[in-house]
Amino acid sequence: MPTNAVEHTVIIGAGQAGIQVADSLRAEGYAGAITILNDEAAFPYQRPPLSKDYLGADSTGTALPLRGPDFFAAKDVTLHAGAAVAVDTAARSVTLADGTALDYTHLVFATGAANRPLPCPGAALEGVHALRTLDDAERLQRSLSSARRVVVIGAGFIGLEFAAAARARGLEVTVLEFAARPMGRALSATASDWFTDRHRADAIDLRLNEGVAAIQQDGTGLVVESSSGNRYPADLVLYGVGVLPRTELAEAAGLATDNGILVDSALRTNVEGVLAVGDCASFPHASTGSLTRLESVQNATDHGRHAARSIMGHNGDYAETPWFWSTQGSIRLQIAGISEPTDEPVVLGDPATGKFSIALLREGVLAAVESVNSAADHIAARKLVGRGLRLDPETLADPGFSLKALAKAGIPIPA
């Protein structure tokens, strides 16, 4: 593909969002040079399987690539090994760890997020793990084969996915969560309570309202001491207590940040020619305008596409409906939209069957749908959520009601 050497887009970070920017730029007809900086040793890979299939007893230990091996040559995209260590936005130049300087016409921060550290004594002991990268997953996979008792700190998505994977390997699994519900930040109380019962039924010892005070090493292994004084012996500890956006380089370069690199609805930062996408970006929510930062493949991918269009001069507003999935053992959770604790939940189907959805109404408008082992509902919900669709709880709860049928029928434009 011929390139216009005057134009050069440099993308910092070879994750889901960064690779998508490059792919979409070419799809949009961008003729300039494209360089992606990769600070990880591995060829760009997908993170979601790392807390799921990758940890299975029969795992091949191979990561799934984000794009096939031919992608970079075919699209004339340079994958450059090494971290960006400084950005000079006045000179439009990026300095890499090896001292190389790259001039850019557009710069995209796709630096992702890093695990929030566990704030307790003993967090750095051997046998205490976090999970973000392929390196982390490789270490965990090795440790799992000799572990018998596992303690998971944090009942968020990563913690529960890992707990289910460890349980499926026959290990004794205890999960400690300091809040009153698992996945409480992202799920309705109704769904969260269902997951509590379900994981307990699968013999995962899920302890709620149980914070962690310290981790100690004793003669036979590790002991996790809770804030209520309980002691949980473990051969392996995994903590998943959230992530922090990687903004350090952007901040040093003078970009505005607020729980992420601040961008406008075209994903542009406060500095001309510089954009930010994916887990590291804090962007205005399409309908409320409030600052939003999301950690999901959908967000990273749709941001990547939108940023590419922005670079090509199409400065439309980013307005994609967020969606997310999590696989916890045999349970597939899919969420469309973002719920709030005050939303009204309406259960569709029978949770006892292990296959149902929960519609969340905000002042009568469909704001989000959580689906458990109900892919058809989720696909329909992605078409329905975010359209201002007003529904009454009685209609939704009727056994004859179907999200799929509603989506197929077409949605009336709200007045």
Q: Output 83 or 208, the one with its CB closest to ligand FAD.
A: 83
Backbone angles phi, psi at 194, to 5 degrees: -60, -45
Site track 161-180 with ligand FAD (rule: CB under 6 A), x = hit: --------------------
Token readout for 204 is: 């995962």
Q: Output 15 or 182, the one with its CB closest to ligand FAD.
A: 15
Instruction: Choose the binding region for ligand FAD from 22-30, 40-48, 223-231, 313-321 (rule: CB under 6 A).
Output: 40-48
Closest separation between CB of residue 36 and ligand FAD, Å? 9
Which DSSP string corresponds to 172-195?
Answer: EEEEE-SSSSTTTTTS-HHHHHHH
Closest separation between CB of residue 281 and ligand FAD, Å? 8
- Residue found under tokens 């045999």: 330
Does residue 89 touch ligand FAD according to CB under 6 A?
A: no
Instruction: Choose the binding region for ligand FAD from 148-156, 176-184, 320-328, 336-344 (rule: CB under 6 A).
Output: 320-328
Does residue 32 touch ligand FAD according to CB under 6 A?
A: no
Q: What is the CA radius of gyration of the chain?
A: 23
Q: Output 48 or 254, the one with its CB closest to ligand FAD.
A: 48
CA distance 395 to 401: 7
Q: Output 13 or 122, the one with its CB closest to ligand FAD.
A: 13
* Nearest C-alpha neighbor of 111 from the set 72, 85, 134, 93: 85
Q: Output 40 or 225, the one with its CB closest to ligand FAD.
A: 40
Taking CA atoms, 260 is separated from 94, 280, 281, in Å, by 20, 5, 5
Token readout for 337 is: 């939209």
Strands 221-226 and 128-129: unpaired
Consecutive H or E run containing 344: strand 344-350
Q: Output 226 or 377, the one with its CB closest to ligand FAD.
A: 377
Q: Is 142 left (phi over 0), alpha (psi -120 to 50) or beta?
A: alpha
Task: Give the largest Cα separation in the chain, rounded.
Answer: 69
Q: Output 150 or 406, the one with its CB closest to ligand FAD.
A: 150
Token readout for 93 is: 């130049």
Does residue 324 touch ligand FAD according to CB under 6 A?
A: yes
Name residues contacting ligand FAD, limited to 42-71 (CB under 6 A).
47-48, 50-51
Name residues contacting ligand FAD, limited to 123-162 (CB under 6 A).
131-132, 158
Sign, Cα dihedral of 226, 227, 228, 229: positive
CA end-to-end distance (rounded Å), the chain: 48
Sole binder of ligand FAD in the list 325, 344, 345, 379 (CB under 6 A): 325
Closest separation between CB of residue 279 and ligand FAD, Å? 4
Does residue 249 touch ligand FAD according to CB under 6 A?
A: yes
Sole binder of ligand FAD in the list 129, 181, 198, 246 (CB under 6 A): 246
Sole binder of ligand FAD in the list 110, 130, 236, 380 (CB under 6 A): 110
Token readout for 9 is: 């887009």
Helix (H, G, I), strand (E, B) or coil at 283: strand
Site residues (vs ligand FAD, CB under 6 A): 12-18, 37, 39-40, 47-48, 50-51, 83-84, 110-113, 131-132, 158, 246, 249, 278-279, 295-298, 300, 324-326
